[in-house]
A and B are shown apart, each in its own frame.
Chain A
Amino acid sequence: MSGTRETTGGIEGRLRIQVKVDAGMVSNVQLDSQRPVNSGALLEGRSVGDALDLLPRIFSLCGVAQTAAGLVAVEHALRVSLTPPQIAARQMLVAAEALEQTVWRITVDWPTCLGMQPDVAGIRDLRRLLRGLGMHMFKAIPWNRVGGSHLVPDPIELVKTIDAVAQHAAWILFGDAAPQLDDHRSFERWLGRQHQPGPAALDYVRDQGLAAFGNSPVDLLPTAPDTGFFAQQLAKDVDWSFCTHPHYHGNISETGALSRLVDHPLVSELRDRHGNGLLTRLAARLVETNHLISKMRSCVDDVSDDMGTTTNNESGQGISVIDTARGVLVHWVEITDNIVNRYRILAPTEWNFHPRGPLIQGLEGVNAQVGEALDKNAGLLINALDPCVGYELNIVEH
């Protein structure tokens, strides 16, 4: 049997999620992912430079993270040591993109789920501010050179830009009532007092008794996973099966804000009370906005004039593991005589939307009658787990 996908929706792929409800309970959840996990094949047979040029052109949502992951994997393969300023510059850009994506989820997708007006203008202005960061660091854009690009940072402009980003993000997320998201008591005091469209989802979750909705026993990926394990699995992933249904040492796992912030005082306390339910997950996303801005600030101190490094090596295997808004992004590459022989990309969506992953296990068995409507609640859970493609949710009542 062979198959072609008739529409671009097919090339891009979608998640089709079918939820069956029996006697008021979710009895079964089926997930069909049509995502093209073999997009790394587009890079194979090309020169390393051409392949790296293609990455930001292939991916529209996370082009910076994909580019950085590609560079690090290639540098690992060719045994290039990156200087600390180059590492910091890339980390700042990756954090900036993650901030944009996270704020987008909160201010556009969460309200849309609940039938509220999203703040599209707010995210448009945030994108405009974030665009300045690269220009204040690199002598020329693009910056996707193996070994690093020519850095001539302007720390004053960088700090001004990050200040403006922080101020704007705080406004569109919290209005004039920015909370201390440090502990449960201050979080509870803040809940219900603000009216920005994104965080209003947290009010909905608390008021409708959905704090523990979607709790699942799925393991969280560690913050510093075993890259050797990924390299071993991806090197032998001839049929893309590991990229399609990944596991971590045999265990189905979850990645994203919750797994990164599991030790944060507020997230930890919410998890003790509600497990990995909606309130914990959405709060982790909010907390992460502050962490990403702090990450950007910390990078400023480490960025300085630097020409980058070079290499004479032309062959090798390499891997990179990068934190993105949606979770861990893994690239693996095999290079022979400066040509990309094999390339594998393992994206966060494949962890969180695994057929036995946190979405499925979180929905199975839940009370379908809690809250206003199951489609809203399930939609929030899907958005909390943050797929990088669109989805169709179909609820069938028996």
Chain B
Amino acid sequence: MCLAIPSKVMEVKDDRVIVERYGERLEVNTGLMTEPLTVGDYVVLRARTHVVAKMDPQAAREALLLFNELAERLADDIEFKSDHEAP
């Protein structure tokens, strides 16, 4: 259930790229990709270690809106659980 959160390529190295998502930077392996990646591309990761797909920018923007919504719901859910916790 690894989420397909779009990550933006910030730097390209030999077989790795540095990506950023929500302010977090990760260095990940690109060995699974058959097409080259360039700075500014959006990609999807597997378990924060490997790039598994490149996304078109429009799909990435739509996906980011979706995950923003999930983040808000997560926060709401934490609040919900907190309100129902036994003292």
| A contact residues vs B (CB 8 Å cutoff) | 1-12, 35-36, 38-39, 41-42, 54, 57-63, 66, 104, 108, 120-121, 123-124, 127-128, 239-240, 345, 347, 349, 388-390
Cβ–Cβ contact B5 & A8, under 8 A:
yes
Asked whether B47 lies within 8 Å of A239 as measured between CB atoms, the reply is: no
Is B11 positioned at the interface, with any CB of A under 8 Å from its CB? no
Interchain CA distance A389-B45 in the complex, whole Å: 11
Q: B73 and A128: CB pair below 8 A?
A: no
* A5 / chain B contacts, CB cutoff of 8 Å: 71, 74-75
Residues of A within 8 A of B67 (CB): 8, 11
Q: List 15 A-B contacts (CB under 8 A).
A: A1-B78, A1-B82, A2-B75, A9-B24, A39-B70, A41-B70, A42-B66, A58-B4, A59-B3, A59-B4, A108-B50, A124-B32, A239-B84, A390-B47, A390-B48
The one of A59, A120, A124 in contact with B2, judged by C-beta atoms closer than 8 angstroms, is A59
Decide: B70 and A120 in contact? CB cutoff 8 A: no
One of B2, B31, B74 near A389 (C-beta < 8 A): B2
Range class of the B interface residue count: 35 or more
Query: Are A57 and B69 in touch, CB under 8 angstroms?
Result: no
Q: Which residue of A lies closest to B75 (CB)?
A: A4
A54-B32 contact given A60-B53, A61-B2, A345-B1, CB 8 Å threshold: no
Which residues of the partner chain B approach A59 to less than 8 Å between Cβ atoms?
1-4
Task: Count chain A CB atoms within 10 A of each CB in B21, B22, B49, B69 and give the residue with the most.
Answer: B22
State in angstroms the CA–CA spacing of A347 and B2 once bound together: 10
**Least distance between A4 CB and chain B CB atoms (Å):** 5
Docked pose: A4 CA to B22 CA in angstroms: 13
A58-B66, A60-B52, A120-B31 are known contacts. Are A12 and B82 too (CB-CB below 8 A)?
A: no
Given contacts A60-B52, A60-B53, contact A38 B73 (CB under 8 A): yes
Min CB distance, A100 to chain B, in Å?
10
B70 touching A2 by the CB < 8 A rule?
Answer: no
Residues in chain B near residue A6, CB distance under 8 A: 22-23
Residues of A close to B34: CB separation below 8 A: 124, 128
Decide if A4 touches B2 in the complex (CB within 8 Å).
no
Nearest neighbor of A349 in chain B, beta-carbon distance: B1
Flag if B1 contacts A388 (CB, 8 Å): yes
> Which chain B residues lie closer than 8 Å to A1 at the CB level?
78-79, 82
What is the CB-to-nearest-CB distance from B71 to chain A, in angstroms, rounded to a whole number? 5
Assess A57 versus B59: contact at CB under 8 Å? Given A42-B69, A124-B32, A389-B2. Answer: yes
Contact call A12/B66, Cβ cutoff below 8 A:
no
**A389 & B66 in contact (Cβ 8 Å cutoff):** no
In the complex, the answer to whether A389 meets B78 with C-beta atoms within 8 Å is: no
The residue on B at minimum CB distance from A4 is: B75
Nearest-neighbour CB distance to chain B for A9, whole angstroms, equals 6
